[in-house]
Chains A and B, each alone.
Chain A
Amino acid sequence: MQDLLNAPRLRRLAAFGAVGGVAALYLAMVGLVEAFKDRNVITGVVTLGAVMLLAVPLIAGYRAAIVPRDVTEGWTRSGLQRAVNGFVAGLIAGGMLGLLVFVGRAVDLRGVLISISPDLLDFLSFGLPRAGAAVAIAVVGGAVGTLGALLLISPPRIRAVITTGLLAVILISLSEPFIRPRLEQLDYTAISDFLYQAHGLTVPAAIAAFVAGIVGSALWAPARARVRQTVEAAPPERRRSIRNWTIVAALIGVLILPQVSGTFFAQVLVLIGLYLLLALGLNIVVGYAGLLDLGYVAFFAVGAYLTALLTSPDSSLGIGLPFFVALPIVMLGAGATGLLIGAPVLRLRGDYLAIVTLGFGEIARILFESEALRPWLGGVQGILGIPNPFPARIDLDIGVAHLVASGPQVLYYPILAFCMLAAFAANRLANSRVGRAWNAMREDESVAEATGVSTVNYKLLAFSLGATTGCLSGALFAVQLQSVFPGSFDVLVSITVLAVIILGGMGSIPGVVVGAIVLIGLPQLLREFAEYRLLVYGGVLVAMMLLRPEGLIPNRSRQRELHDAMDDEEEAEPPQPELAAQRGSA
């Protein structure tokens, strides 16, 4: 018993618990729980709001069960003690939340904390009265904390397997907005009814998903190892042909995706595609050349407005050019804008460059919106009547396959084509002397200049290429909406694109693709999320910079650049095994 109540240990546990408590309170106060408390994960059992809240003591308990490296007095590695650690941390976290509920029932907090509504309090209280509710929450917290500790203690294989199972359940549940309508469209109502009810998984479906996750996880590692073995053992020509066939398969998959997944999903894909195009452009400016452009939205706007002005008969120019005739003019305009914005900022240092470009972006937005320029740019009401050059519906027979596309499914293809073009061009550039020059410039600008790289030219090149891509996306955006409004072009777009690149990996094309899918696609899955999109983007930016600045799928050289500078600052955390191995081999 003495062991269990040791002071430094309690302090540390209290710290974890407090952090957890703050997190739980935050989730409640900021309204995330409220927003998600009606979104069923497993109908009748648990909602997403509950899952979010429960994750807090789970993680707190997990962390609390980690024994610090230099085992100090009072800490042992005993399973019991670690489980108790988890319990205590979870208890404290839950207790803090319970306190909030207790106070919230006594005093109407809604005047200040608008999210603490009676509904929320009911939801949190398990139907118990004030004091009971607070205690109950604390105890549940403790219990979940213990589970977290147990998760840590369990052997890694089991841990991975269980985590995958849980994730599978959540993933399939959250994909309901895509899957269910599609199933119903295809007349697979029986399956859809088995899986989903009231927008959440049915209990049997949940169990099935969990099991599937477990089984998948268990089978994944050996299967992957076997595939890798086979591929490596094969002779080079065989390997190349395997690679080619994989690419072809992926290509086919991407091409028929909108067919398979329905119009709603296609709409999401179109949105992802537009942002992806933007991100590919900004990736050249930020990722390759190292110039943080916070006013990137200006190019997007210029592309959209130029397209509108040139192609819409209702615009102030009223010439109504066909889209593909206007497009080269738009791209020229893009290049010019890139030069105009790039030239003044060439000599500026990183953070100043960011702020100046932000300034340019804002000036552009205000001008587009202004009364003063309304006769030309349409002011707040924008420009309408942009014709869509792409057919409204495609009905094709290709060999044995039948291709049908309508609405967003049609627009998907040109956007996909442009994205691939942009990615292809960017990749070619990165691997050429241009990419080398950009790398050198990023590392040491004056030495690069002295070595023969004209930094002026290469910065301008980056800006212009980024501008052209951004304008292209703008043109497609204008055509998709068939109108442009200045409200769509604010600084938050620039920041969103930046977040996509940061999440995926600066300078990494696959990374940017992943980033776009995650940051643009997921909010569409979780509609309640829309309000909190920016909150999450901000959190993502901070978290990525603190934890993994090179992004999810890093470009190898950036990873080295970023970590070496920052590794010196590491606190006395036990070094993770992968990092140590990396350093050893370098």
Chain B
Amino acid sequence: MRATDVRLRLPQRFNLVSAILWGLRIVVVVLVLAGAWATLSSGKLSPDTWRDLVVFGIAQGSVYALIALGYTLVYGVLFMINFAHGDVFMTGAMTAFFVARNFDESGFLNANPIVALLILFAVSMLTSMVVAIALERIAYRPLRRAPRLVPLITAIGASLFISNSVRGIYGEQDQAYPTINALQGRFDIFGIPILKTQAVVIVAAVVFMVGLVYFVERTRTGRAMRAVSEDKDVAALMGINVDRIIVTTFAIGGALAGAAGILYALVFNEVDWFMGFLPGIKAFTAAVLGGIGNIAGAMLGGLTLGVLESVGPFLLLGGAGVPSPNQLRDVIAFTVLVLVLIFRPNGILGQSEPGS
């Protein structure tokens, strides 16, 4: 019988959860500031090194951005996370490797680098596209109306299946992409040295992204895609073949991932059956960072994450005397992922999500 219960209330609701969340915020901020200050004040790294790191970050970020576009497109129409997208990226890169090796052995690669590269792009994009479409057809379409966890679990299973199948088919070992002589060396752009490969990567990524934006904004199919992502049922009523649009979305996402595969090979050189996991998660981080469902967001997120990951270990840890900062590169990416999802799931540019 508590007629006039006086409830003891603190001005701000204090509970365990808030305490932990605030603790998390404080720890992160302190670590970042302390590490950055330590590094910058020790002056261990020269401005040139920073510059190179940033350039590398942009190149790496371009790869992430292209993969992130695949996540964001699929999320836009199906509101599901295509966990297997990283492995779609991997199949393209791995398959194109054999073509590349063949070209290298026959000398075609260095004789006609541009044509060879275009063919490699085509092979990789085609393979990834096929895998993405198969994925949609076999694993996702039957589950469209299932509770949300079900397609996610399926995606995880598909990811395992695809990566290990490739392991069985193509073999376990890392494969090194052959070097293209024409792409050795640097350009000097406004006094900033950029590796030729990096330049190609950045330019190619920009071209693809512009192409995608044009496609989505200006073509009929692109409009249909936007309609489906707004409201599937209404779009169907308007006469849009929703199934076909969804397949198209997967196909485009897959193609972009395949392109990213070649770019990855240009930047990092090595490909193997497990290479889809980390870039996949990082690209997803990029997509969420920029705002999932938002194409510009995916690009922005990709570049941001790429630079953060490149500069971060040295900025935050190197100066403070932490050994082997590069090992912790991935921690930075995962930390960004975790922090974004916990504190700002809408990302930088906001989110296209139906009201809860």
Contacts and interface: CB of A to CB of B under 8 A. Distances in A.
- A–B direct contact (CB < 8 Å): yes
Interface of A: 26, 29-32, 111-115, 290, 292, 294, 339-340, 343-346, 348-352, 354-356, 358-360, 362-363, 366-367, 369-372, 456, 460, 495, 498-499, 502, 531-532, 534-535, 537-543, 545-546, 549, 561-562, 565-566, 568-569
Q: Which 8 A-B pairs have the closest CB atoms?
A: A541-B157, A538-B160, A538-B161, A30-B168, A535-B164, A343-B20, A542-B157, A371-B324
A450 to B, nearest CB: 15
Contacts of B142: 546, 569
Contacts of A290: 149
Nearest to B322: A372
| Residue of A345, A456, A546 ringed by the most chain B CB atoms within 10 A | A546
A292 B337 contact: no
Interface string B247-266: 00000000000000000000
Contacts of A32: 168
Interface in B147-197: 147-154, 156-165, 167-171
Nearest to A111: B98
Given A30-B169, A348-B342, A456-B17, A542 B158 contact: yes
Contact of B150 (A26, A363, A460, A562): A562
A545 B143 contact: yes
Contacts of B51: none
Interface residues of B, number: 57
B284 to A, nearest CB: 7
B11 interface: no
B228 interface: no
Contact of B341 (A31, A294, A355, A546): A355
A112 B156 contact: no
23 contacts: A30-B169, A32-B168, A114-B169, A292-B149, A292-B153, A343-B21, A348-B341, A348-B342, A351-B81, A355-B337, A363-B335, A366-B328, A372-B328, A498-B153, A498-B156, A532-B164, A534-B164, A538-B160, A539-B157, A545-B151, A545-B154, A549-B150, A566-B145
B10 interface: no
Contact of A542 (B81, B154, B168, B322): B154
B207 interface: no
A545 B284 CA distance: 23
A538 B150 contact: no
Given A366-B330, A495-B156, A538-B158, A566 B164 contact: no
Contacts, number: 177
Contacts of B158: 538, 541-542
Given A369-B327, A371-B324, A546-B142, A541 B17 contact: no
Contacts of A531: 168
Contacts of B80: 351
Most chain B beta carbons < 10 A, residue from A366, A460, A498: A366
B330 A362 contact: yes
Contacts of A340: 20
A566 B143 contact: yes
B323 A371 contact: yes
Tell which of B101, B147, B156 has the most Cβ of chain A within 10 Å.
B156
B345 interface: yes
Interface string B6-27: 0000000001110011001000
Contacts of B281: 355, 358-359, 362
A355 B75 CA distance: 14
B323 A356 contact: no
Main secondary structure of the interface of A (DSSP, over half): helix
A370 B327 contact: yes
Nearest to B323: A371
B342 A114 contact: no
A218 to B, nearest CB: 37
Contacts of B330: 362, 366
B160 A549 contact: no
Contacts of B167: 535
B160 A535 contact: yes
Contacts of A540: 157
Nearest to A372: B322
A294 B16 CA distance: 23
Given A31-B168, A538-B164, A542-B161, A292 B152 contact: yes
A344 B157 contact: no
B331 interface: yes
Nearest to B151: A545
A538 B157 contact: yes
A271 B194 CA distance: 52
Instruction: Choose among B144, B169, B337 the residue with the greatest number of A CB atoms under 10 Å from its CB.
Output: B169
Contacts of B284: 355
B27 to A, nearest CB: 11
Contacts of A499: 157
Contacts of A370: 324, 327-328, 331
Interface in B16-58: 16-17, 20-21, 24
B91 to A, nearest CB: 13
Given A372-B317, A538-B159, 7 more contacts: A115-B168, A344-B342, A355-B81, A355-B281, A355-B341, A362-B334, A366-B334
A372 B98 contact: no
Nearest to A290: B149
A351 B152 contact: yes
B156 to A, nearest CB: 6
Contact of B148 (A113, A350, A541): A350
B203 interface: no
A366 B331 contact: yes
B168 A565 contact: no
Contacts of B144: 569
B338 interface: yes
B327 A114 contact: no
A356 B281 CA distance: 11
Nearest to B277: A491
B139 interface: yes
B146 interface: yes
B334 A542 contact: no
Contact of A363 (B151, B324, B334): B334
